Amino acid sequence: MPKNSPVNSSPDDLAVWDHKWGYADTKFVVNADKSVTLTGNRYSLCGYRMKQFIPYVESMLQVKLDLDDIKPEYGQPVVPASSINEMFCAAIKNKFTEDQYSFDDKVRLIHSHGQTSADEVYKVIYESISRVVDMVYFCQSEEDAQTIISLAKEHDVCLVPYGGGTSVSNALQLPANETRMIVSVDMLRMNKIEWIDKENFRACVQAGITGKKLEELLGEEGFMSGHEPDSIEFSTLGGWIATNASGMKKNRYGNIEQIIQSLTMITTEGTLSQLDTTPRMSMGMQPQHLLLGNEGNIGLITKAVIKIHKLPQVQKYGSIVFPDFESGVKFLYKLTHEGQPPSSIRLVDNVQFRFGLALKPEPKFLASILDKIKKFYLLKIKKFDPLKLAATTLVMEGTAIEVSQQEKSAYSIAKQFGGIPGGSENGRRGYLLTYCIAYIRDFLAGFHVIGETFETSVPWDKIHDVCRAVTEMVAKKHQEFNLPAKSYISYRITQTYHTGVCIYFMYGFYAKGISSPEKIFSKIEHELRQTILNNGGSISHHHGVGKLRMGFMKDILSPASIEMLKNLKRATDPNNIFGIQNNIFADQQSDA
């Protein structure tokens, strides 16, 4: 079976690619006229010809793409034979039916990586990965979780929790020095809402549920969680907790640490849980707070009690164009501290603004006239520089009154900084574009372009320092590694806080003719992360540490803090059954 074929264990309309991102009916393709189309009908970008897509990429990278020169994929992967713990496997076969475990090579390979571009996806598609899980176990209940953990402890088997497989921090990359049998514990079958407390706005939800299914099931009862990460279609509640995740609408609904009221984790030494759930509790140190961001090192998250909200009466999109990125930042600052921020607000730089334009369909006659009028107004009347202007997208939710207040607040403050309304349709398209970015990554990889996104949080006064330093370091490393053409670097602010913001970077380069481009990419990404830290940014905002950034942890936590967390690991998992070795729990591994 071809490496990039869809996984068919789901209904046809839900099938996903083996190793690339997303649904099997969705991919970017080049048409005869060199325009680009996104297949399927899942996203707003689907079904029309994007004539400016390729010219935009060529302009940014300063290279002419050969659309007939497709980078060959690795072909049929050679998956190493399973390392079998005979006693453990015999116990598994005795306890469970055959549909709850698999030794199939394809299933094992899928569960042996996440979605980190260079270190995982690029290698599995264009090269190979050497360490693969030996068995995949499909957990269906808390009793199953307790049993598989008990058996692993008894027979000294390593367990790796697996949710949606969307990790971009190498958190699912298997330790090269692990000699025990490794079993991936797939939690996706634990995907039910156990109960909904409508009066107190709470729900108890199993950890394997995806964000998409969670919102569908809550929506049937008139509620929502409001947690909406870019990966909502595929990532799981357990994964959100394990990475300390953030969503695009955190302004209204909070990040995962504000959404979770209590959680249950099964460890080798017993169950970690808070037996009572109230709005807030002063009970001394709360163990569940230490489990947020555990990255698979402690145990299996099986369920959580979460806050829920009634579905909004009104949802409205909007957009604002600013003369430059700096004006947009000033607008965000004042809106955050003096206005009424909408559920989501994002500011893109000029490079990403132009990318959004490149992905638009060719306008029809009347629309083209209106576009020309808008451009004339922006460029000739308002004197906006087309190579400097930036834009925000807005999502406003709530009651009609709340949405009206959010809208008035945003547009009145924007006017103070030269902002001009850009229309609701542009806001909608800009917001929904985020779901397609990983598809774009995989499409361009076929044309020898390797790229990825990475994020950080920074104080307000460090925004421009960090963006400038990263841009300069990209240029420096491009020259140092003698890369062809020009590297791509752009950024957007995706979340705002009282004390700062989250910045998302998009980085990539043309790799044709470059030996081991994935290794070069990893080295440069490491340098860019160091640059971010040197200029006041964080190790991550919501992607986590995994193995990609573990080398920076000594600069983030004091030695005593690290030792405290290691002692927690020793107490809850003394035999290191959960031996994925993420974050500070690595054994002499380096991310350099």
Q: Tell me: the pLDDT tens digits for 201-241?
A: 999 999 999 999 999 999 999 999 999 999 999 999 999 99
Whether the model clears a pTM of 0.75, i.e. scores above it, the answer is yes
377 part of the active site: no
Query: Which helix H or strand E contains 303, and what residues bound it?
Result: strand 300-307
pLDDT score for 590 = 35
pLDDT at 130: 84
CA distances to 94, 134, 380 from 110, rounded to whole Å, are 25, 12, 53
Give 499-532 pLDDT, tens digit per residue.
999 999 999 999 999 999 999 999 999 999 999 9
**Residues of the chain scoring pLDDT < 50:** 1-11, 365-367, 369-370, 373, 588-592
Query: Of these residues, 101, 253, 488, 504, which one is catalytic?
Result: 504
The secondary structure element, H or E, covering residue 449 is: strand 449-459
Of 242, 244, 185, 296, the closest CA to residue 581 belongs to 296
Contact 498, 457 (CB under 8 A): no
Cβ proximity of 104 and 9 under 8 Å: no
Dihedral in degrees, nearest 10, Cα atoms 439, 440, 445, 446: 80
Both tokens of residue 345?
């607000």
Instruction: For the beta carbon of residue 45, count every other beta carbon within 10 angstroms.
Output: 24
Quote the pLDDT of residue 127: 83
